[in-house]
Amino acid sequence: MKWQLILGLVLFSSLGLSEKALAHGVKIEHNATQAIEINAKYDTGAPLENAQVTVYAPDDPTTPWKQGTTDNQGNFMFTPDPSKIGYWEVKVRQAGHGGLISIAVGNNRNNTQVSADQPTENKNEQSSFYSKTSQGLSPIQKGLMIGSILWGCVGTALFFSKLNLKHSPVQDTPNVRQQESES
């Protein structure tokens, strides 16, 4: 009965390994008009609601120029100082997820730099940033995880079966029978 339970638990736990982890990537878009509108979403399309936004000016990239939060649709708007020409960096973070986008203001207004592994295009003064925080697992990683789970389950089963042998009642042995018959 115990082996059936353990086997069932092993099979049940290994079924979930074929799915990807439920981590989120982040997509940040901006639209430049008189002001700059930021739209931040998870890669699933859900908005980053009430995410922390930090804007850095080109002349002082270490001191926040403006801070705020996104609305319920993941939108945030700010008007950069037109006298500060260069790349404005906008950082959007929520619960460990987020990204950084650099928006050109001034002469290089059509250029946008993003901190992502994949380059994005900037057409009509709009750009997007996509950050994938969770890559798919390789076959070696999946095999190692399955092997580790199986090894842990087998080790646990052997440990508990050894405990049951130590605590089981002593069975009749030939020596005990001989002592009883002599008395």
- Report the CATH number at residue 80: 2.60.40.10
CA–CA dist 97, 93 (Å, integer): 6
Same domain assignment for residues 147 and 71: no
Segments in the chain below pLDDT 70: 1, 3, 9-25, 30-33, 107-136, 164-183
**20/39 Cα distance (integer angstroms):** 26
**In the structure encoding, which two tokens stand for residue 38, read together?**
């930021």
Q: Mark whether 151 and 103 lie in a shared domain.
A: no
In terms of domains, do 151 and 69 share one? no
- pLDDT at residue 158 in the model: 87
What is the predicted pLDDT for the residue at 148? 93
Same domain, 59 and 125: yes
Please name the amino acid found at residue 98: G
* Residues whose CB is less than 8 angstroms from the CB of residue 63 and which lie 6 or more positions away in sequence, other chains included: 56, 57
Count how many domains the chain has: 2
Which domain covers residue 142, as residue numbers? 2-18+137-168
Residues 147 and 82 in one domain: no
Q: Is 95 among the domain residues?
A: yes
Indicate whether 33 belongs to any domain: yes
| Residues 8, 76 within the same domain | no
As given in the structure block, the two tokens for residue 166 are: 């130590």
Q: Confirm whether pTM is higher than 0.75.
A: no
Nearest 5°: the CA angle 26, 122, 54 is: 45
Q: Based on the fold, state whether residues 69 and 100 are members of the same structural domain.
A: yes
Note the residue count of the chain. 183
Helix axes 2-15, 139-167, angle to 10 degrees: 160
- Residue the block writes with tokens 């001191």: 63
Indicate the DSSP class of residue 47.
B
What is the CB neighbour count within 10 angstroms for residue 6? 16
